[in-house]
């Protein structure tokens, strides 16, 4: 397996080339500002450093949210167009699962992304990255109540008072390397939240 | 050798891809409009527009290539609208174009959305220079002097509302559904010019101002309502449209005269306006002006016009690299 990994859904940009079980090149950036301008040169450099061409890869891994709507779309547009034009397998991965990949000493790990106004995008995973509670958009307090009887570690990149999350990329890749993948036309963001206009429109019905 | 430009346009609520040969021959165009969705909200909702662009981008690309019976290997260069427009919408087209340019190692040509509207005219007949371009849309009302390809000299523009914007606001006041502009235009045709509305900014400059006219319509509708009088929507639409078209044509004809130019092109969504088309046709015939107005399908946002503009930009050596970013606002240059 020769693959490209793209994460633009969280605050930590990750571009990596993974060949079989080895990370040939990884770019980590804690600053996802100016993403749209800098991402393609980073991908180009990743291929160059790994001594591969885009046409050499057979698999694309891409996080499809939740997170910053614009951020998700930047990585996902690249993945969609690449997978469509190269006719290769594309595997979407939850950004919360990527955050959970750091593992914990507790039974479960709960990644959180600040969604403002006391809301978070949250999920609950075990240390093998099985999803225990589906990723959701939820009031932080409600989510905490829901999991408060469980042995859980909360992680977040945001200023929510929890430890920061690091990614174990190979763990995520190994979990998904045999996934079938999705049709690039149907590879879409998992926002977990309607737009405000849609919410108001639905309320008015 | 023929030059085939694959063009992508996603600046507002249309996802469009087109293949244009030598800047003038349309091989295939696909336009996926989101208008019906945004109609539910009375206007374009930027976040919804962005969401729909990403859902559709690869399907529109595929359909365009399939219709053209071509592959990416047949394409000379990739052109994309980088701005101005809705930033989230633009980004989908820009990222898609950059990815294609990278994968297939093709030149990437950045195209200004308004240059696209102007060059839509080259799909009708070859543009002759020097020319005056009247750019009229939801975001623009400008007179541009072009002595040659990609030489844009701004000679006048709106000081407040764009003409399309004024149309949309008037539509709301007289209770016409979205999209307001085309619907007001339709109503105007059924009415008579009976309302006493002012001719906006009728001075010696080439600038426009539509806020006064817009306010006059709002006040008139409000006053009639207070008096318990029903307004005649058709007549009000007709009176409004007459003033708008009068001032647009008056200043355009004067610009042609002052710059001693015999070629006029009309560009932007409002060039679909029936009264504007008719009046310009009559005036230009009288003055022996070579007038070009795009077909209705090229007036609204589409990638064919970006392919036409992209061809000339490509020939002039205009290129973007992989750092190309979308711009919400940018001067035509």
Q: Could you tell me the domains of chain A?
A: 2-94+167-203 (3.30.420.40), 97-156 (3.30.420.200)
**Is pLDDT at B174 greater than 90 in this prediction?**
no
Give A93 to chain B, closest Cα distance, Å: 17
> Over the stretch B229-263, which tens digit does the pLDDT of each residue have?
889 999 999 999 999 999 999 999 999 999 999 99
* Same-domain status, B109 and B151: no
For residue B187, what pLDDT is reported? 93
Distance between CA atoms of residues B252 and B244, nearest Å: 12
Q: Is residue B326 part of a domain?
A: no
B329 is a domain residue: no
Asked if A27 and A45 count as a contact pair (C-beta separation under 8 A), the reply is: yes
The pLDDT, as a whole number, for residue B43 is 86
Which uninterrupted H or E stretch holds B302?
none
Half-sphere exposure of B290 (CA within 13 A, CB side): 14
ipTM of the complex: 0.97
Task: Tell whether A65 lies on the interface with B, counting CB pairs under 8 A.
Answer: no
Q: How far is A194 from chain B (nearest CA, A)?
A: 9
Of all residues in chain A, the one with the smallest CA distance to B61 is A81
Q: Which domain holds residue B185?
A: 128-293
Q: Distance from first CA to last CA of chain B, Å, rounded?
A: 28
B54 to A189: CB separation less than 8 angstroms, yes or no:
yes
Are the CB atoms for B23 and B312 separated by under 8 Å? yes
The structure tokens listed for B160 are 């407040």
Question: How close is the nearest chain B Cα to the Cα of A163, in Å?
Answer: 31
Tell me, what's the pLDDT at B331?
A: 92
- Judged by CB atoms closer than 8 Å, whether chains meet at B61 and A81 is answered as yes
Do residue A84 and residue B61 have CB atoms under 8 angstroms apart?
A: yes
Nearest to B47 among A69, A76, A85 (CB): A69
Which positions in chain B touch A185 (Cβ < 8 Å)?
A: 58-59, 62
Asked if residue B333 is part of any domain, the answer here is: no
How confident is the model at residue B177, as a pLDDT? 84
For residue B323, list chain A residues with Cβ-Cβ distance below 8 A.
Answer: 37-38, 40-41
Q: Which helix (H) or strand (E) is A57 found in, with range?
A: none
The answer to whether residues B232 and B91 belong to one domain is no
> Min CA distance, A164 vs chain B (Å)?
29
With residues binned 3-state (H G I as helix, E B as strand, rest as coil), the percentages for chain A, rounded to 5, are 35, 30, 35
Chain A closest CA to B68's CA: distance in Å? 16
- Whether B28 and B88 map to the same domain: the answer is yes
DSSP string computed for B254-273: HHHHHTT--EEEEESGGGG-
Assigned domain for B325 exists: no
Kindly calculate the radius of gyration of chain A based on its CA atoms and give it in whole angstroms: 17
Say whether B98 and A43 touch across the interface (CB within 8 A).
Answer: no
- The mean pLDDT of B12-40, rounded to a whole number, is 96
Is B322 within the bounds of a domain?
A: no
Residue B104 has what pLDDT? 98
The answer to whether the CB atoms of A73 and B54 lie below 8 A apart is: yes
Is residue B321 assigned to a domain? no
Decide: helix, strand or coil at residue B277.
helix
In this structure, the answer to whether residues B103 and B135 fall within a common structural domain is no
A36 to B326: CB separation less than 8 angstroms, yes or no: yes
Q: How far apart are CA A48 and CA B182, in angstroms?
A: 51
Q: How far is B309 from A205, CA to CA, in rounded Å?
A: 44
Q: Is residue B328 part of a domain?
A: no
How many inter-chain contacts (A to B, CB under 8 Å) are there? 93
If we measure between CA atoms, which residue out of B222, B218, B213 comes closest to residue B240?
B213
Higher confidence at residue B150 or residue B172? B150
- Please tell me the distance from the alpha carbon of residue A157 to that of residue A163, in angstroms, as a whole number: 8
Q: How confident is the model at residue B151 (pLDDT cuts 50, 70, 90)?
A: very high
- B278 shares its domain with B154: yes
Average pLDDT, stretch B86-105?
Answer: 98
- pLDDT at residue B12 is higher than 90: yes
Q: Which of residues 58-97 of B touch A (CB under 8 A)?
A: 58-59, 61-62, 72, 88, 91-92, 94-96
- Cis before B179? omega within 30: yes
- Give percent above pLDDT 70 in chain B: 100
Specify the pLDDT at position B159: 95
User: Rounded distance, CA B134 to CA B142, Å?
Assistant: 6
Confidence bin at B206 (pLDDT 50/70/90) = very high
* Contact residues on chain A for B325, CB-CB shorter than 8 A: 34, 36-37
Residues B159 and B289 in one domain: yes
Q: Is B218 on the interface with A (CB under 8 A)?
A: no
Instruction: Judge if B47 and B196 occupy the same domain.
Output: no
In chain A, whose CA is at the least distance from the CA of B103?
A: A54
Neighboring chain B residues of A76 at a CB cutoff of 8 Å: 54
> Any CB–CB contact under 8 A between B102 and chain A?
yes
Structural domain count of chain B:
2
The tokens of A101 are what? 């990949």
B325 vs A: CB within 8 A: yes
Q: Domain containing B212 — which CATH number? A: 3.30.420.40
Residues B55 and B109 in one domain: yes
Which percentage of chain B shows pLDDT scores above 90? Answer: 90
* pLDDT class of B167 with cuts at 50, 70, 90: very high
CB B54 to CB A76 under 8 A? yes
- Asked whether residue B330 is domain-assigned, the answer is no
Measured between CB atoms, does A48 come within 8 Å of chain B? no
**Under-50 pLDDT residues of chain A:** none
Q: Are residues B148 and B255 in the same domain?
A: yes
CB of A77 within 8 Å of a chain B CB? The answer is yes
How confident is the prediction for chain B on average, in pLDDT?
A: 95
Residue B276: per-residue pLDDT: 96
Q: Could you tell me if A86 lies within 8 Å of chain B, comparing CB atoms?
A: yes
Phi, psi for residue A131 in degrees, rounded to 5: -80, 125
Q: Which residues, 6+ apart, have CB-to-CB distance to B117 below 8 Å?
A: B135, B137, B267, B268, B271, B305
- Same domain assignment for residues B256 and B288: yes
Residues B140 and B277 in one domain: yes
Does B304 lie in the same domain as B283?
no
Q: How far is B13 from chain A (nearest CA, A)?
A: 15
Query: B-chain residues within 8 Å CB-CB of A71?
Result: none
pLDDT at B112: 97
């Amino acid at each position: 397996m020769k693959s490209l990994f793209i994460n633009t859904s969280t605050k930590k940009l990750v571009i990596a080339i993974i060949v079989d079980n080895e990370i040939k090149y990884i770019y980590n950036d804690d600053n996802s500002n100016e993403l749209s301008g800098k991402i393609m040169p980073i991908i180009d450099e990743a291929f160059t450093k790994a001594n591969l061409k885009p046409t050499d890869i057979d698999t694309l891994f891409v996080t499809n949210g939740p997170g910053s709507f614009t951020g998700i779309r930047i990585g996902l547009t690249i993945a969609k167009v690449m997978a469509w034009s190269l006719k290769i397998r594309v595997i979407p991965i939850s950004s919360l699962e990527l955050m959970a990949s750091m593992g914990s000493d507790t039974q479960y790990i709960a990644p959180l992304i600040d969604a403002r106004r006391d809301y978070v995008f949250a999920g609950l995973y075990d240390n093998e990255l099985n999803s225990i509670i589906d990723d959701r958009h939820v009031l932080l307090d409600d989510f905490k109540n829901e999991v408060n009887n469980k042995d859980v570690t909360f992680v977040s990149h945001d200023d929510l008072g929890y430890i920061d999350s690091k990614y174990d990329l190979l763990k995520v890749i190994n979990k998904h390397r045999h996934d079938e993948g999705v049709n690039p036309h149907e590879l879409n963001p998992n926002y977990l939240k309607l737009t405000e206009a849609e919410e108001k429109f639905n309320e008015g019905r | 050798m023929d030059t085939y430009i694959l063009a992508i346009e996603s600046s507002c609520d249309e996802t469009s891809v087109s293949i244009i040969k030598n800047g003038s021959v349309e091989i295939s165009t696909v336009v996926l409009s989101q208008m019906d969705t945004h109609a539910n909200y009375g206007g374009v909702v930027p976040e919804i527009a962005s969401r729909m662009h990403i859902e559709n981008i690869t399907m529109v690309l595929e359909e365009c290539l399939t219709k053209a019976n071509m592959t990416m290997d047949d394409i000379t260069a990739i052109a994309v609208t980088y701005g101005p427009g809705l930033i989230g919408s633009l980004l989908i087209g820009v990222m898609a174009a950059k990815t294609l340019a990278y994968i297939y190692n093709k030149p990437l040509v950045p195209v200004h959305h308004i240059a696209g509207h102007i060059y839509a005219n080259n799909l009708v007949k070859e543009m002759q220079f020097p020319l005056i371009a009247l750019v009229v849309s939801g975001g623009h009302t400008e007179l541009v002097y072009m002595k040659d390809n990609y030489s844009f000299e701004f000679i006048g523009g709106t000081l407040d509302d764009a003409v399309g914007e004024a149309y949309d606001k008037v539509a709301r006041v007289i209770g016409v559904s979205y999209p307001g502009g085309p619907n007001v235009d339709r109503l105007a045709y059924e009415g008579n010019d009976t309302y006493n509305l002012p001719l906006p900014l009728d001075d010696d400059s080439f600038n426009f101002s539509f806020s006064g006219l817009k306010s006059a319509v709002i006040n008139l509708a409000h006053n009639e309502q207070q008096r318990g009088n029903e307004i005649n929507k058709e007549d009000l639409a007709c009176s409004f449209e007459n003033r708008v078209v009068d001032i647009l044509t008056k200043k355009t004809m004067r610009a042609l005269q002052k710059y001693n130019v015999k070629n006029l092109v009309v560009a932007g969504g409002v060039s679909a306006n029936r009264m504007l088309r008719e009046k310009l046709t009559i005036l230009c015939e009288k003055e022996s002006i070579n007038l070009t107005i795009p077909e209705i399908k090229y007036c609204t946002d589409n990638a064919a016009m970006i392919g036409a503009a992209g061809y000339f930009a490509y020939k002039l050596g205009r290129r973007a690299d992989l750092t190309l970013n979308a711009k919400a606002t940018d001067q035509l240059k």
